Amino acid sequence: MTTPRIGTLMWPMQSWPEAGGLWRRAEDLGFRHAWLYDHVAWRGTTPWYDAYTTLAAAAAVTSRIRIGTLVTSPNFRHPVPAAHAIRTIDHVSGGRVTVGIGAGGTRRNSDAGILGGDDWTPDERASRFAEWVGLLDRLLTAPETSFEGTYYTAREVVQEPGCVQRPRVPFVIAGDGPRGMRVAARHGTGWVTSPHGGGREPLDTVRSRLGALRTACEAEGRELDDLILLTGFSEEPWLESHESFADLAGRYAELGITEIALHWPRPGTRFEADMKVFEAIAAEYGEAC
């Protein structure tokens, strides 16, 4: 059994250059990838800096670690400027960026609520998500794109010279429902899930979702390389000890999970953890895996 590779969720809460030092530390600890939530605001947390700008800066002060959003969404970003920024970060990083994409939250806790307007129905949210991902795919692969969709428009958008990574940067899709999984199967190189809520054991939840994802992939005639588990929102003791991490990582690896994302310890929150345990896990399960 192969142990899943590990990455970390960073917090865009420090000014530069302090933040740059943390990104370099994540790389030095051996994490394979480092991610940022992409929001205008997140659960009242302040300060909260922009994800894309931070990723560009992080790309400039690191050289090995993969970086990306986990996840960006249609809630406040249009695909055209998003593609422009993503392609730029891909060049700054030398081809180390991965774009995580999700449908976004509800008005109660979403960036769309900050911008005003009515909340989207679940059907509209799923439809916007599918159209957003499909258009972003075109914008990052075609030399020129014109598109008239239900929700988004692009007119003679030139994206040359294209991405460093070909045919484009990888997409990691967050989608636990049937429509989201179809988007993942069609456009993704990976899929991300976080087991919480619903009253089921996290392992059972992920097992069921993986089964549905495989069905969606079979329908598209594709396989996904990276199956990512975002931890921190269930009661599982991922960072309680080295032994508890090893046990949980092994259990999820048996299901097929290939990547695990751990939140960088944040005192006084549900993401609080012993930094020594966090560093020890990174040292054993980091770049060597």
Rounded distance, CA 24 to CA 58, Å?
8
pLDDT at 41: 80
Rounded distance, CA 180 to CA 177, Å?
5
Taking the chain (289 residues) in consecutive chunks of 10 residues, what is each chunk's mean pLDDT? 88 95 97 95 83 98 98 93 97 98 72 72 93 98 97 94 96 95 98 83 96 97 96 95 95 97 95 96 79
Cα–Cα distance list, 75 to 4, 41, 264 (Å):
31, 12, 25
pLDDT at 289: 46
> pTM of this prediction?
0.94
Listed in sequence order, the residues at least 6 apart from 24 whose beta carbon sits closer than 8 Å to its beta carbon are 61, 62
User: Which backbone phi and psi does 241 adopt, to 5 degrees?
Assistant: -165, 165
Alpha helices in 188-238 (DSSP H): 202-220
Write down all domains in the chain, each with its CATH number in brackets. Answer: 5-285 (3.20.20.30)
Tell me whether residue 242 is exposed, middle or buried, using C-beta atoms within 10 angstroms of its C-beta: 0 to 12, 13 to 18, 19 or more.
middle
Cα–Cα distance list, 266 to 89, 96, 228, 235 (Å):
27, 26, 21, 16
Rounded distance, CA 122 to CA 242, Å?
40
